């Protein structure tokens, strides 16, 4: 991760097909295309990759979450339970539809704690959205059971987890509706792009129409299409889809490289008694896009994070002090800093953030370091990195034994 590290002839070929015919839009212009329909081809490939009936491509991962929620009927005043650890796009997508994000604690999977989810359900709860952060997953069976017992929509944001599986099923295809991002730093990149994945035909048709101004896409005359309901523009372009088409065919290659590099670093860190690794639920396999581990306390985590940076070990994130991925510094959300008036329903619904604390989430995120696994490293580079990381962590943790 990310896939752009290994751009090559296959990506160039697909992009050149689009440039050759000049049709950058995914819909219409049939006669000019010379048979090239990159978005349609990518959707077909993704159906096979995700073992799912339907895939709708959109313009970004954020668009995918927004379209997924809308397609499932989530809207004004509905509550959507989501984790404290995610990307800001999760609550942005919910609020875009006039719904209310209800943030709850994570557990040692770094995703939703099913007990915290259960405790947060109210009469307004419409959906539960698990976010498969940093290449792994939550307790999917437990979360599914909560959804089923309360008749809630189960949404899976797998934007960071393509290639991971749970009990043999690809992440992103397990819940009622799933979401992916193919932005510039994802394992598979389109530059910008995303996908909605589902086995529910109604959700798929809703996503297909809603993401293109409500067009029903019936027939081959775009001007004659009807609009069964209101929609907006979340379309992907053919250029973006072309890059993704080449990349998705290389996913097994990318996952194999990530697993090899991940394993080398994990084995080095596993020799340190103070290091604990993120829990992967039984039956799950990570995508190996990130290596997540816990250190004994916040002080040591901060010390190690700074030492990594000082020694050129890049792309290792301490999310406790991060502005984008953890609630602790989401002041723009807590204070509702908006360019336009926030609806009274959402404003009232988010008052809880003024006083709500998340001690359980704090305890995990404060001690966690999340290290990106790159595709372009040579084996020597990975081993040098692993040894340097292990030495830094050992030295930082030695303070505990001395005390």
State the catalytic residues. Answer: 186
Helix (H, G, I), strand (E, B) or coil at 397: helix
The residue to which tokens 């005359």 are assigned: 221
* CB 111 within 8 Å of CB 174: no
State both tokens at 101: 């994000």
CA distance 398 to 303: 12
The residue to which tokens 């397990």 are assigned: 174
CA distance 133 to 61: 13
Nearest to 279 by CA among 368, 199, 201: 368
CB atoms within 10 A of CB 280: 17
* CB 90 within 8 Å of CB 80: no
Angle of the 238-248 helix axis to the 9-21 helix axis, nearest 10: 150
CA distance 333 to 137: 25
CA distance 334 to 321: 17
CB atoms within 10 A of CB 351: 10
Residues in contact with 166: Cβ distance below 8 Å, sequence separation at least 6, in sequence order? 137, 140, 174, 281, 283, 284, 285
Residues in contact with 378: Cβ distance below 8 Å, sequence separation at least 6, in sequence order? none
> Cα dist. 68→14, 156, 288 in Å?
28, 9, 26
End-to-end CA distance of the chain: 39
CA distance 141 to 132: 14
Q: Which residues pair with 277 in a beta bridge?
A: 293
Please list the helix, strand and coil fractions of the chain in percent, rounded to the nearest 5, in that order.
Answer: 45, 15, 40
CA distance 241 to 61: 14
CA distance 98 to 345: 8
């Amino acid at each position: 991760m990310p896939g752009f590290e290994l751009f090559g002839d296959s990506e160039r070929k697909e992009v050149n097909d689009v440039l050759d015919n000049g049709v950058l839009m995914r819909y219409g212009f049939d006669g000019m295309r010379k048979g090239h329909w990159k978005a349609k081809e990518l959707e077909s490939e993704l159906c096979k990759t995700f073992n799912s009936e339907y895939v709708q491509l959109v313009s970004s991962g954020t668009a995918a979450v927004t379209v997924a929620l809308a397609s499932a009927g989530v809207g004004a005043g509905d509550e959507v339970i989501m984790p404290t650890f995610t990307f800001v796009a999760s609550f942005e997508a919910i609020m875009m539809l006039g719904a209310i994000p209800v943030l709850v604690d994570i557990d040692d999977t770094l995703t939703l704690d099913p007990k915290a989810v259960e405790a947060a359900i109210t009469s307004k709860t419409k959906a539960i959205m698990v976010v498969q952060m940093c290449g792994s997953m939550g307790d999917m069976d437990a979360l599914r059971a909560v959804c089923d017992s309360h008749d809630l929509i189960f949404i899976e944001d797998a934007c960071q987890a393509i290639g991971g599986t749970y009990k043999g099923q690809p992440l992103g295809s397990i819940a009622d509706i799933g979401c992916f991002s193919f932005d510039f730093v994802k394992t598979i990149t389109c530059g910008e792009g995303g996908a909605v994945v589902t086995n529910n035909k109604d959700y798929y048709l809703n996503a297909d129409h809603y993401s293109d101004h409500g067009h029903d896409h019936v027939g081959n005359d775009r001007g004659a299409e009807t609009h069964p309901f209101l929609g907006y523009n979340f379309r992907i372009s053919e250029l973006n889809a072309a890059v993704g088409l080449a990349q998705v065919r290389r996913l097994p290659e990318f996952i194999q490289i990530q697993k090899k590099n991940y394993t080398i670093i994990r084995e080095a860190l596993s020799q340190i008694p103070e290091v604990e690794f993120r829990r992967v639920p039984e039956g799950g396999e990570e995508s190996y896009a990130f290596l997540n581990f816990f250190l004994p306390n916040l002080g040591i985590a901060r010390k190690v994070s700074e030492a990594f940076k000082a020694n050129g070990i890049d792309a290792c994130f301490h999310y406790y002090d991060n502005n984008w991925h953890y609630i602790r510094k989401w002041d723009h959300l807590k204070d509702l800093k908006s360019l336009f008036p926030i609806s009274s329903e959402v404003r009232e619904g988010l008052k809880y953030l003024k006083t709500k604390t998340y001690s359980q989430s704090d305890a995990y995120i404060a001690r966690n370091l999340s290290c990106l696994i790159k595709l372009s490293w040579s084996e020597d580079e990975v081993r040098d990195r692993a040894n340097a990381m292990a030495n830094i962590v050992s030295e930082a943790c030695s303070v505990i034994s001395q005390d």
